[in-house]
Amino acid sequence: MRPTSDKVREALFSILGTRIPGCRFLDLYAGTGAVGIEALSRGARLVTFVESDSKAMHIIRKNLTACGMLDRADLRVGSTHGFLRQHDRQGDAYDVVFADPPYADQTALALVLESWDLGVVADGGVLVIEQDARVLPPAGTDRVALLRRYEYGDTALLRYGPAPEKSL
């Protein structure tokens, strides 16, 4: 587990700006839960934490309880892949999706980008991926495009949004 540094977390919330208050926020590969807990502290209406490690999820639950935020959290123990497949059948879309998949794992990156195609990201929403700055990020898919890359030492934040319409 590699927690998001304070510097990168501060940059993330600067990038997201006014999107946070009242939003539905999805924290994929939640790890310590620091990003999702920060979103709640900044006014997110609901944060869904997805983490495969049950010990990490126990720590997230404990921290949310200590902060009095458990009532605005949805905790999902399991794989991101499983969550996205389940969401495809029954979920509401999120205004902000943040993912911190294993660094340089191209399969995980592709899976996170696929979340856009599965309707996980709401219309007008944003997807941000934290990744190793030395790895070339995927440009996107037919529906989602890399809008901006921000670098902080060896970490990059990749902001994705709707792909521009292709002319025939």
**For residue 140, what is the domain's CATH number?**
3.40.50.150
pLDDT tens digits for 120-146?
999 889 999 999 998 888 887 778 889
**Residue 94 domain boundaries:** 6-160
Residue 108 Cα to chain centre, angstroms? 12
In a domain, 60, yes or no: yes
In a domain, 166, yes or no: no
In a domain, 152, yes or no: yes
In a domain, 168, yes or no: no
Query: What is the spatial distance between Cα 8 and Cα 31, in angstroms, rounded to a whole number?
Result: 15
What is the count of structural domains for the chain?
A: 1
Return the higher-pLDDT residue of 165 and 29: 29
pLDDT tens digits for 42-96?
999 999 999 999 999 999 999 999 999 999 999 999 999 899 888 654 568 999 9
Q: Which helix (H) or strand (E) holds 162?
A: strand 155-162
Query: What is the spatial distance between Cα 3 and Cα 10, in angstroms, rounded to a whole number?
Result: 13
In a domain, 134, yes or no: yes
